[in-house]
A and B are shown apart, each in its own frame.
Chain A
Amino acid sequence: MNKLPEPKQPEKLIDEKGLRIDGRRLDQLRPLKLEVGLLDKADGSAYIEQGKNKILVAVYGPREAHPKHIAMPERAVIRCRYHMAPFSVDERKSPAPSRREMELSKVIRESLEPVVLTDLYPRTTIDVFIEVLQSDGGSRCAGITAASLALADAGIPMKELVAACAVGKIQGKMALDLSDAEDKYGDADLPVALVPNMGLVTLLQMDGNLTTAEFEQGLSMAMEACKTIHSMQRETLKKKYATIKDAVEEREEPEIVA
């Protein structure tokens, strides 16, 4: 057997100094890396690393609806597939879509719908493919953050970017952006997606055990984190266009004619 050793349950999720197993404070995000426009064939693409999450998103469309009967006469139909690679988790996952993946595909789609101006593209589909190459805690949220970047990268008109982040409860305390171990051995998980400028929560799920006060505290922590992530999303897009602008200016330098 070549099986990797199973990660063991940590003795404590928070140490005496109030730090978590990866050394973070309770209100601290994992390191976050965002990229856009890295796939050649897709109309838009994005890549996110958040902790050990490594997720690639491609957007195709607006394109002709296929099969035809799914087309809507007055707007574009967004389709979304959240899918985990077989090697993305400790135990190999069957590549067939699980019920969890089907549910997440639905709620992720519903988290993006409110910002996309679908009525501009009747009778078409916009396909969002989220491939989790390596999964850590909070992969649905990381997927949403990257998916909204990929939609923007595809040039699809949107009201705003959607940013997402989970908050959870570990050792009785609310903590931001849970890692795998914290999710597994913690007491609750509360993933949130936010459209910051509209103040609109477009994804909200919860499992575990929370009091109403803990929920309210968690919701505001998650919303703050979404705002931070949102400014990183904007920077990532700006950087891409700055790079394009530099490249174009270089090419257009006037030639000296003798």
Chain B
Amino acid sequence: MEQKTVVDLVTKGKRIDERGLESYRPIQIQVGLIEKANGSAQVYLGKSKVLAGIKIETGEPFPDTPEEGVLTVNAELVPLASPSFEMGPPSEAAIELSRVVDRGIRESKAIDLKSLVIQKGKKVQVVYVDVYVLDHDGNLIDAASMAALAALANSKVAKMEMKGDEVIEKGGHHQLPLNNHPVAVTFAKIDKTIVVDPSLEEEQVMSARLTVTIDKNGHLCAMQKGGLYGFIPDELKRAVNLAVAKAAENRAKVMAAAKG
């Protein structure tokens, strides 16, 4: 019954929570809630709630990139967030979520990995982005993408140096330098209509999903289609252009919140 209502409304250009087809739910961002993390941010996207924590530790570079630090993104669909999340190894959905968030940050070159080298080929800073989904009411990709960006923009790195063979703290911190600010914008196709920022009720009836991640220059840096159906080319082109506008709006909110 409810599923039919969601679809009927969308075909009439309306949504179950009375938003416009191209409107986001309210976005609230808080930074710095986790004192023991180098950076953190919590994002409410409507009733969806995602916490991202950044840990920056000393480690070794990958052998094929001796002059770069390391970026690792992980997402956890914590069982407390939804009756559909289960304990155990990461699900396909969790892996996809972390890889889509990772792709946006990595491909936009948001983090200057070269600046994270302590000693070439031996010691580098490793940036761990851990996304923790706390309440799942749909569109976790966008919530996670904004949480990750806000947390990175809020991160401080300890100054390090080599003393002999050991890495020691020089004392003091500096802001983690960010070169780019990627923001994901997700669309759902419901019947023949495309809506932005699908809620959980809408995700349950959507036939396909599209995420477009836009960098601060208005360029695409990542895309991901999901769901059991597809899109026609006109829908894709419209979504991409709309994503550029929506990403700019959401980026402004994230960066304003990160400044505190």
Contacts and interface: CB of A to CB of B under 8 A. Distances in A.
Contact of A106 (B96, B210, B237, B241): B96
B9 to A, nearest CB: 24
Interface stretch (A49-57, A143-151, A207-215): A207-215
Interface of A: 99-100, 102-103, 105-107, 110-111, 113-114, 190, 195, 198-212, 215-216, 219-220, 223
24 contacts: A100-B99, A106-B226, A107-B224, A107-B225, A111-B230, A114-B228, A198-B230, A199-B232, A201-B225, A201-B230, A201-B231, A201-B236, A202-B229, A205-B223, A207-B221, A207-B223, A208-B107, A210-B220, A212-B220, A212-B240, A212-B241, A219-B233, A219-B237, A220-B233
A106 B244 contact: no
A206 B223 CA distance: 4
Given A102-B95, A209-B215, A110 B233 contact: no
Contacts of A105: 92
Interface in B206-224: 210, 215, 218-224
| Secondary structure dominating the interface of A | helix
Given A209-B221, A210-B219, A103 B95 contact: yes
Contacts of B108: 209
Given A107-B226, A114-B229, A200-B232, A206 B99 contact: no
Nearest to B215: A209
Contacts of B218: 211-212
Contact of A219 (B107, B215, B219, B236): B236
Contacts of B230: 111, 114, 195, 198, 200-202
Given A203-B225, A204-B231, A209-B219, 13 more contacts: A99-B95, A102-B92, A106-B226, A110-B227, A190-B223, A199-B233, A201-B231, A202-B225, A202-B230, A204-B225, A205-B224, A215-B220, A223-B233
Report, as a range, how many residues of chain B touch the other chain. Answer: 20 to 34
B40 interface: no
Contacts of B103: 207
Contacts of B139: none
A210 B212 CA distance: 11
Nearest to A216: B237
Given A99-B98, A201-B230, A219-B236, A208 B224 contact: no
Most buried by B among A103, A113, A114: A103
A201 B92 contact: no
Contacts of A100: 99
A140 to B, nearest CB: 12
